[in-house]
Each structure stands twice: as C-alpha cells, then as structure tokens.
C-alpha cells in the first residue's frame, strides 16, 4: 500500500493489519483517474478511514483538507503514523468516532464545512455502505458538485432510493466495486471522465 502520485508519491503506508479492509493500489489509481481534477483543492471526508490511504492520496494530489473518521485504535495509530510519514499532517484532521454518530452530530456552518469528496469503505457483508448512504442522505454534507464514493464487494450492491444522491457511475476491479454518487442538485455532467486527471512528474 503506497501513495501513487503527488507530493508524497512512492511513500509506503503502514497498515493496521486485519482491523481494516485496505484499498489496493490498482483500485486506488483507477479511482483517482476517474476523479481527476476534482481532487485539487477539495475538502475530503474519509469515513471508515482504516489506514487513511484514500484521504492521504487525495492530500498528496492537492486536496485542501481531509477529515479522517475511524474508531479502531490500531487504525487510528496507522493514520497518524502515515500522515507523519507523508508530512501531510497540517491539512488533516483525525476524528476518533463512530461514523454514524459523526454524521448525526454534523451541523451546517461548522468549521468542517461541506465536503467535495466523501469516501466510504466500511466492513463488508453488513450492508453498512447502504446504511451510511441513508444516514448521509438529506443531511447536506456533500457539496453541490461533490462526489460520494462507496467501496464494496460487487455482490453487496443493490439499488438505493435516495433523496439527495444519484448513482453516477460504477466501476468493478476484481473483488472491489466503486459506486460513485453525485448530488442530484449538481449541474448535469455526461460522464465523470470529462474531468482531466492531474499529472505529476
């Protein structure tokens, strides 16, 4: 597990072990190719953050700030060590909390603001991804042009009726599916790929 691109490119990240379900480098690279320039200057929320791999990748690629929400102690230690390793601490906030309690307690207008990218990677086979989307639905936490991404096992997917979010894209890479949702109030875009990926030397 490493940082693929940006200011921390090539850094190997520490894993908390069996406590989390890390995203593979291949899936992460494809995700950020799809997101492209949306990441630059974005406010990112990494839920069920694990080792913080996705949020750290976003910071490395130019995200303005990332809030990591995780309750497992081993995972929290890994996030903090990885932020120190990549020297991205100054743009990160690590929150030790249950994801659903964090969502319930969020209030519009607080310093955290709304998020341009929300990433969800909960434990598999418990339908927690759908429960998280329902908890977020109608809360106004996603910015108008923001993207919400759920990382799931393909057989977990089922259609959801949501007030605030619409499914914009799905990508499957082996045993991982990425479901990308947009805000229904956002300007219409034909495809997410219209946004040019960032490139780094």
- 20-76 pLDDT tens trace: 667 999 999 999 999 999 999 999 999 999 999 999 999 999 999 999 999 999 999
Q: Is the pLDDT of residue 17 over 70?
A: yes
pLDDT at 16: 85
Give the confidence band of 111 by pLDDT, cuts at 50, 70, 90: low
* DSSP characters over 29-95: HHHHHHHGGGGTT-EEEEET-TT-HHHHHHHHTT-SEEEEEE--HHHHHHHHHHHHHHT-GGGEEEE
In a domain, 86, yes or no: yes
**Cβ atoms within 10 Å of 14's Cβ, excluding its own:** 15
What is the rounded end-to-end Cα distance, in angstroms, of the chain? 20
Distance from C-alpha of 188 to C-alpha of 171, rounded to nearest angstrom = 20
State the DSSP code for 96: E
User: Is pLDDT of 199 > 60?
Assistant: no
Spatial separation of the C-alpha atoms in residues 91 and 16, rounded to whole Å: 22
Q: Does some domain include residue 23?
A: yes
Residue 7 forms part of a structural domain: no
- For residues 101-109, give the mean pLDDT: 87
Domains held by the chain: number = 1
pLDDT digits (tens, 9 = 90+) for 126-160: 999 999 999 999 999 999 999 999 999 999 999 99
Residue 197, in any domain of the structure: no
What pLDDT, on the 0 to 100 scale, is given for residue 18? 66
Q: What is the DSSP string of 127-171?
A: -HHHHHHHHHTTS--EEEEEEEEEEE-GGG------SSEEEEEEE
CB neighbour list of residue 90: distance below 8 Å, 6 or more residues apart:
none
Tokens standing for 162? Answer: 């949501």
Provide φ and ψ at 86, rounded to 5°.
Answer: -90, -5
Question: Which has the closest alpha carbon to 85: 51, 121, 41?
Answer: 51
Specify the pLDDT at position 110. Answer: 62
Q: For residue 174, is it within any domain?
A: yes
Dig out the tokens for 102 from the structure.
């964090």
CATH assignment at residue 115:
3.40.50.150
Average pLDDT, the chain: 90
* Residue 103 domain boundaries: 17-186
Q: Is residue 12 part of a domain?
A: no
Could you tell me which residues come within 8 angstroms of residue 107 by beta carbon, excluding any fewer than 6 positions away? none
Q: Kindly state whether residue 147 falls inside one of the protein's structural domains.
A: yes
9 occurs within a structural domain: no
């Amino acid at each position: 597990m490493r940082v693929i691109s940006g200011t921390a490119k090539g850094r190997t990240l520490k894993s908390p072990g069996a406590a989390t379900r890390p995203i593979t480098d291949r899936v992460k690279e494809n995700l950020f190719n799809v997101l492209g320039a949306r990441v630059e200057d974005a406010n990112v929320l990494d839920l069920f953050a694990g080792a913080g791999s996705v949020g750290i990748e976003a910071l490395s690629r130019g995200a303005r700030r990332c809030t990591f929400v995780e309750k497992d102690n081993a995972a929290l230690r890994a996030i903090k060590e990885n932020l120190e390793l990549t020297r991205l601490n100054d743009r990160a906030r690590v929150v030790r909390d249950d994801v659903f309690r964090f969502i319930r307690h969020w209030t519009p207008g607080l310093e955290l603001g709304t998020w341009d990218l929300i990433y969800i990677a909960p434990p598999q086979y418990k339908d927690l991804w759908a429960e998280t989307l329902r908890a977020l639905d109608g809360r106004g936490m996603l910015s108008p042009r923001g993207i919400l991404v759920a990382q799931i096992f393909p057989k977990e997917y089922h259609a959801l009726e949501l007030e605030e979010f619409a499914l914009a894209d799905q990508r499957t890479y082996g045993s991982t599916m990425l479901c990308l949702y947009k805000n229904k109030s956002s300007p219409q875009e034909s495809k997410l790929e219209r946004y040019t990926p960032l490139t780094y030397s």
